[in-house]
Amino acid sequence: MDVARALEGRLEMLEQPTPADDIHALAEVTRRSPVPILADESLRGPDTALELAGRRAAHGLSLKLATCGGLHCARQIDAIARAARLATMVGCIHEPALLTAAGLGLALSSPNVRYGDLDGHFDLVGDPTQPGFLFRDGWLIARDVPGLGCTVEL
């Protein structure tokens, strides 16, 4: 909490600073923090999104397609966040560009997505997926092509 107070005004948000299984602690930190807190590791699917929203345990939800159940569940989580007036962040893990492209599509198609952290494909060595997006000046830019725009080279 001291770090959040010291950095108030310089941080836009903090991802979950508590253990994944301690929603009570997350809610308490959220209540006391001057910086918006996003639930991350505690978010495992639509059911936990409902619990987090119902308990006002965070100011927003950080969803990852690879860990929340895929695109359908991610859309449900985003709808839950929107209904609860919580911000959504679309994040990632170390993943192929194909999954990053799907996350980018979700982020661009939802008015509730406020944050994006879609850089996991940069860490993956030997990704057979050629991105369906451009990376320019720190921004992912969707190409004007059908679907996710990715190609796979095996």
Q: Give every CB contact of residue 151 below 8 A, 6+ residues apart in sequence.
A: 129, 130, 132
φ/ψ (deg, to 5) at 39:
-70, 135
Q: Enumerate residue ranges in the chain where pLDDT < 50.
A: none
Contacts 24+ apart (CB under 8 A), 98-101: 98/129, 98/132, 98/148, 98/150, 98/152, 99/65, 99/66, 100/131, 100/133, 100/140, 101/131, 101/132, 101/133, 101/142, 101/148, 101/149, 101/150
Give the distance between the most distant pair of CA atoms in the chain: 50
Q: What is the pLDDT of residue 27?
A: 98
Q: What is the pLDDT of residue 1?
A: 67
φ/ψ (deg, to 5) at 61:
-120, 130
Q: What is the pLDDT of residue 130?
A: 87
Q: What is the pLDDT of residue 26?
A: 98
Q: Which domains does the chain have, with CATH numbers?
A: 2-125 (3.20.20.120)
Q: What is the pLDDT of residue 9?
A: 74
Q: What is the pLDDT of residue 132?
A: 87
Q: What is the pLDDT of residue 76?
A: 98
In this predicted model, what pLDDT tens digit does every residue of 39-80 receive, in sequence order? 999 999 999 999 999 999 999 999 999 999 999 999 999 999
Q: What is the pLDDT of residue 153?
A: 84
The CA distance from 132 to 126, in Å, is 16
